[in-house]
Chain A
Amino acid sequence: MDSTGIGARVPRKEDRRHLHGQSTFVGDLSFPRMLDVAFVRSPVAHAVLKPAEIDADDRARVFTSADIEAIQPILAEGTIDGYIKTPYPVMARDKANFVGQILAACVGATRADAEDIAERVFFDFDELPAMTDAVAAMDADAPAIHPELSKNIFHQLAFGQDFEEIRASAPVRLTRTYKLARQAIVPMEGRGIVALWDERTTQLVVYSSTQSPHLVRTGLSEFLKLDQNRIRVVAPDVGGGFGYKAILHPEELILGYLAMKLKRPVRWLEDRREHLTAGANSREHIYNVTAYGDDQGRLLGLDVDMIVDAGAYSIWPHTCAFDAIQASGILPGPYQLKNYRVTARTVATNKPPIQAYRAVARPGACFATELTIDALARAVKREAYLVRRENLVPVEAMPYRSVTGKLYDSGDYRQSLDIALNAIDLAKLRAEQKERLADGRPLLGVGFATYTEHTGVSTSTLAGLGTRLMPGHELAAVRITPDGGLDIRTGVQSHGQGMETTFAQVASDVLGIHVDLIQVVHGDTALTPYSTGTYASRCMIMVGGAIADACDRLLGRLRTAAAHLMQRAPDELMFRDGAFHAGTASMTIPEIARVVYFTPAELPADMDSAGLEVIGGYRPKQDSGAFAYSTHVAVVEIDRDFATVKLRDYVAVDDCGTQVNPMIVEGQILGGVVQGIGTALFEEVRYDESGQPQASTFADYLVPGCGDIPTIRLFSTQTPSPHTRFGIKGVGEGGAIAPPAAIVNAVNDALMPLGAEVSEVPVSPARILDALERAGVAPGFLTAAAS
């Protein structure tokens, strides 16, 4: 057979059901006597809440905070220095802290019925000033969102070296403020929950569109005060998560409670309006950067003050400090930087709670660092790719200990940049850029961004971060079936990553069993080993390692049995293509399995009685993580009248170590790049002064569509990690990291002759026009040049 092991372009096993519309998402589930839930959500951003007025006829179908007091407030703890924990009540009690916060749950026979009830519930408020700006929220006289916090600061950190000498002597010093807008995560499938009480197993069963079923089970247990074995969580097909579904949400607790209270199945399906308002929850960072360089653009020092607009609450379990902790460690990027200092504050505002979105803080950190590299290049009047190249960690320095202590494991970062450079014709583009500037056509710009991404974040790293409930390691259960196939059970959840295929490929690689005969089971706490779920580009490394470990051990048992049956010493047998060979004799896995399962009397009495079922585990010996890396190049055209940015060309050069399935790697990068383009050009929830979100439908919240995306050209190298099984590095998040940096660098390259520079995403026409205005270029300038 053709290998279906590591490196094979195996078509995704899960695609058949998805492409035939035969998947089962939460919204496809139906149970007898099921009720629908609609939430009353706060229409105001910051207000003292008065008791609800509820029609007598509705009273039994409306649940406010007073009715659900048995649910404990969510409390995200951690041993993180400088972090102050604050409770997150699942429904607002005395005070509402953001538009979209849950005030009451209404149950009806249908969703429309539940919404009718919700409309009749009346809340009165005493409005308080809304804090929509993280900087203003730190003012001494700003209203307090939580009594526990001082100046509304959830968390602060400061570390790094003092580098007085460089500060005094560096020939180039530049300061910039970079901002990323608040985004919604916008998975294709919103969140959804069906909860029911199963009397037979005496369990609360919660079907949830989650990335982390076991973690949700732990959270339900903790805040519903229910033993974990009284709870089963099932994630059926999940239509994208991107971090949005990697945490415990208030709705999961409320639905679980209602199912037990009402003894009827209850369902809630998030609609897009709820998502875009109550779920506007990611990416909002501010970076105040001072960089020092020499006259050639060598980066000598980086001094960063970071502010994370965390919204109103700290999410469970990762906490709101996660963005700042991650960003502060990775801001030095792939560069040889010796002098670095960072302060970060994570600030409460009257917006939805911030959480990790694909690549967590990396798009922001990459944006800040990569725009700084380009600004440095402009300051010393050199090509940005040259300055970037000279600053990159050279291959000879690998493994490289970064200034923040991270161990970059392997890779040739400069080669990555060179491949990207060779993929475009920079000299030709530079000539065209000049022509266009003169002849009035849209302005042309070229921008690069290089990053390194810490993947496979594992035990010691996470312990060092002070997080709670993130153990880092993974388990996998594997079982040879009596006919010689393989069942794999894993506690992580596949929701677009193709893990039903790639996990099978790892097992196929070890055992030689065709992937068609391998079944991957995931997403059900009743069936799978414990795991905290799918996030951080870690599943292929960690679960792949655990599956390989389990399969290795299975192979040992198979070998012992085969040796006995073939009357050879175990080490005389050669294992190849799913069979043991000795001379001309051979024995296949199905043949051995039949004996083990059905005629074990043929085997010695002292054979391992555990059969052909194994739980394997994986924690890399050197568990400082792997570092994937990549260079992106964007070529943009800026319309002179409308200041719109058109992507003309986009190149991504990726190295995620060993690729298990190159087709899936490409899919991950393409999807990530498109989301990154959304961050760069379109996606934004703005707030007015009273804290009202200004985007609540897709008419206001723009996401990239196929008409906005050029053919993304992919290149790859494969530099194995020396620290992980098979050299895998992880690729789930990477694509989303660089587009904001590469695209804005391209925009600034185009605007440079006009003396303008942008430093915020999304780089909307308004932001470009503002930058031009700041540069003294009058509105309407562009057409004047044309005519």
Chain B
Amino acid sequence: MKAISFEFHRPASVTEASALLAQYEGDARALAGGQSLVPMLNLRLVRPAAVVDLSGIAEMRAIEVSSSEISIGALVTHSELEFARESGATFDLLRHVAAAIGYRGVRNRGTIGGSVAHADPAADWLSCLLALGARLSIAGPSGIRQVPIGDFILGSFTVDLQPGELLTRVHVPLLGASARWGYYKHTRKVGEFAEAIGCVVDDEARGIFRVVAGAMSSPPVVLFDRARATTTLDDVRAALGTAAPSVEGHHVHFHAAAVMRALQSGARR
């Protein structure tokens, strides 16, 4: 399968990219690493009038660390996060998650921003960034706005991006020195799409505790946001029933088990 014919642009700045995306009034697709978009183009599942290739925008490639947050350019690849050298619990979790995304080729080209904007519920970053309380910078014709990831993801493959807007940065609050985390992803085989994800972030010093279940047919959900004395499998099942009632059959156990394993691997139960 080959893509339909489309216009191709490679802007050099966010402003230029935003103007191009606005010009096509929603009929243009932004291209980051292309690991989802290019197959979708070739299968003709998407048929845009134009593709706006963001790879020439240098300012979207950097990772910046301040005292309170990690600001990750949307074009930073999974591999760059996998091999990031900075220390601390936040980077440990980002590295752990990045290292198990897809296959080496996918990690070398795929980007964190592309993954979030694509909003496949099975994507590792959606669950991980929700648990970390990430916010996103969205650039558009009227400037830059920031939005929590939970509000940005409107549904499966659906995000809060207006024509002319693009996701430029992912802001992850830094966890404290004593923070713990746990992440478990269930796949049928190495590198495949997740069938269940559990992610736990536990930073007692900063009052942060989030347990996230992901890789359902709908976007990830926060099951618990306050630390508990104990969390049993039945507690998780009950929370899933409330937060994600569409999960049925064997999948209830798969998701509950992924969350339990994430809890066991790092955080307080």
Most buried by B among A681, A697, A704, A780: A780
B74 located at the interface, meaning its Cβ lies under 8 Å from any Cβ of chain A in the complex: no
Which one of B2, B186, B192 contacts A642 once the chains associate, using CB atoms below 8 Å? Answer: B186
A 98-126 binary contact with B (CB < 8 Å = 1; else 0): 00000000000011100110010000000
Interface positions of A from 730 to 787, Cβ below 8 Å from B:
764-766, 769, 779-780, 783, 787
Asked if A765 and B188 sit within 8 Å, CB to CB, the answer is yes
Q: Tell me, rounded to whole Å, the shortest Cβ–Cβ distance linking B248 to chain A.
A: 11
Interface positions of B from 230 to 254, Cβ below 8 Å from A:
233, 249-250, 253-254
Which one of A115, A682, A699, A708 contacts B1 once the chains associate, using CB atoms below 8 Å? Answer: A115
Interface positions of B from 77 to 103, Cβ below 8 Å from A:
103
Question: Dominant SS at the B interface?
Answer: loop
Q: Which residues of A contact B193 (CB under 8 A)?
A: 699
Given contacts A644-B188, A705-B190, A707-B190, contact A111 B253 (CB under 8 A): no
Which one of B39, B188, B195, B196 contacts A697 once the chains associate, using CB atoms below 8 Å? Answer: B39
Which one of A111, A704, A769 contacts B250 once the chains associate, using CB atoms below 8 Å? Answer: A769
Q: Which residues of B contact A764 (CB under 8 A)?
A: 188
Most buried by A among B43, B103, B192, B260: B192
A395 located at the interface, meaning its Cβ lies under 8 Å from any Cβ of chain B in the complex: no
Which one of A707, A766, A769, A780 contacts B189 once the chains associate, using CB atoms below 8 Å? Answer: A707
A702 located at the interface, meaning its Cβ lies under 8 Å from any Cβ of chain B in the complex: yes
Closest to B43 in A: A273
Q: Tell me, rounded to whole Å, the shortest Cβ–Cβ distance linking A648 to chain B.
A: 15
Given contacts A116-B4, A783-B260, contact A765 B43 (CB under 8 A): no
For the complex, give the distance between the alpha carbons of A705 and B105 in Å: 14
Q: In which size bucket is the chain B interface?
A: 20 to 34
Q: Which residues of A contact B257 (CB under 8 A)?
A: 641-642, 783
For the complex, give the distance between the alpha carbons of A764 and B190 in Å: 15
Q: Which residues of B contact A15 (CB under 8 A)?
A: none
Q: Tell me, rounded to whole Å, the shortest Cβ–Cβ distance linking B83 to chain A.
A: 19
State how many residues of chain A have any CB contact under 8 Å with chain B.
30
Asked if B5 and A112 sit within 8 Å, CB to CB, the answer is yes
A 692-712 binary contact with B (CB < 8 Å = 1; else 0): 000001010010111110000
B37 located at the interface, meaning its Cβ lies under 8 Å from any Cβ of chain A in the complex: no
Asked if A682 and B189 sit within 8 Å, CB to CB, the answer is yes
Asked if B39 and A641 sit within 8 Å, CB to CB, the answer is no
B3 located at the interface, meaning its Cβ lies under 8 Å from any Cβ of chain A in the complex: yes
For the complex, give the distance between the alpha carbons of A705 and B43 in Å: 23
Q: Tell me, rounded to whole Å, the shortest Cβ–Cβ distance linking A356 to chain B.
A: 26
A271 located at the interface, meaning its Cβ lies under 8 Å from any Cβ of chain B in the complex: yes
Q: Which residues of A contact B190 (CB under 8 A)?
A: 705-708
B 151-184 binary contact with A (CB < 8 Å = 1; else 0): 0000000000000000000000000000000000
For the complex, give the distance between the alpha carbons of A115 and B189 in Å: 33
For the complex, give the distance between the alpha carbons of A691 and B191 in Å: 29
Q: Tell me, rounded to whole Å, the shortest Cβ–Cβ distance linking A770 to chain B.
A: 9
Interface positions of B from 1 to 24, Cβ below 8 Å from A:
1-5
Closest to A781 in B: B253
For the complex, give the distance between the alpha carbons of A114 and B126 in Å: 38
Q: Tell me, rounded to whole Å, the shortest Cβ–Cβ distance linking B214 to chain A.
A: 15
Asked if B192 and A112 sit within 8 Å, CB to CB, the answer is no
Q: Which residues of B contact A641 (CB under 8 A)?
A: 186, 253-254, 257, 261
Asked if B2 and A115 sit within 8 Å, CB to CB, the answer is yes
Asked if A112 and B188 sit within 8 Å, CB to CB, the answer is no
Q: Which residues of B contact A642 (CB under 8 A)?
A: 186, 195-196, 254, 257
Q: Tell me, rounded to whole Å, the shortest Cβ–Cβ distance linking A362 to chain B.
A: 25
Given contacts A702-B188, A705-B190, contact A779 B4 (CB under 8 A): no
Q: Which residues of B contact A765 (CB under 8 A)?
A: 188, 250
Given contacts A641-B257, A697-B39, contact A112 B3 (CB under 8 A): yes
Q: Tell me, rounded to whole Å, the shortest Cβ–Cβ distance linking A246 to chain B.
A: 26
Asked if B2 and A112 sit within 8 Å, CB to CB, the answer is yes
Q: Which residues of A contact B254 (CB under 8 A)?
A: 641-642
Given contacts A273-B43, A642-B257, A697-B39, contact A708 B189 (CB under 8 A): yes
Closest to A642 in B: B186
Closest to B186 in A: A642
Which one of B3, B5, B186, B253 contacts A780 once the chains associate, using CB atoms below 8 Å? Answer: B253
Closest to A707 in B: B190
Q: Which residues of B contact A766 (CB under 8 A)?
A: 250
For the complex, give the distance between the alpha carbons of A783 and B256 in Å: 10
For the complex, give the distance between the alpha carbons of A780 and B234 in Å: 10
Q: Which residues of A contact B195 (CB under 8 A)?
A: 642
Closest to A271 in B: B1
Q: Tell me, rounded to whole Å, the shortest Cβ–Cβ distance linking B232 to chain A.
A: 8
Closest to B190 in A: A707
Which one of A111, A116, A643, A780 contacts B233 once the chains associate, using CB atoms below 8 Å? Answer: A780
Closest to B184 in A: A641
Asked if B191 and A707 sit within 8 Å, CB to CB, the answer is yes
For the complex, give the distance between the alpha carbons of A635 and B250 in Å: 25
Q: Which residues of B contact A706 (CB under 8 A)?
A: 190
| Interface residues, chain A, with chain B CB atoms under 8 Å away | 110-112, 115-116, 119, 271, 273, 641-644, 681-682, 697, 699, 702, 704-708, 764-766, 769, 779-780, 783, 787
Closest 9 CB pairs of A and B: A707-B190, A641-B257, A112-B2, A780-B253, A708-B189, A111-B2, A642-B186, A769-B250, A271-B1
| Interface residues, chain B, with chain A CB atoms under 8 Å away | 1-5, 39, 43-44, 103, 186, 188-193, 195-196, 233, 249-250, 253-254, 256-257, 260-261
Listed by A's residue number, 26 A-B pairs whose Cβ atoms lie within 8 Å are A111-B2, A112-B2, A112-B3, A112-B4, A112-B5, A115-B1, A116-B4, A116-B5, A119-B44, A273-B43, A641-B253, A641-B257, A641-B261, A642-B196, A642-B257, A643-B250, A682-B188, A682-B189, A699-B193, A704-B189, A705-B191, A708-B189, A766-B250, A780-B256, A783-B257, A787-B233
Other A-B contacts than A644-B188, A766-B250, 4 sampled, CB-CB below 8 A, are: A702-B192, A704-B189, A705-B190, A765-B188
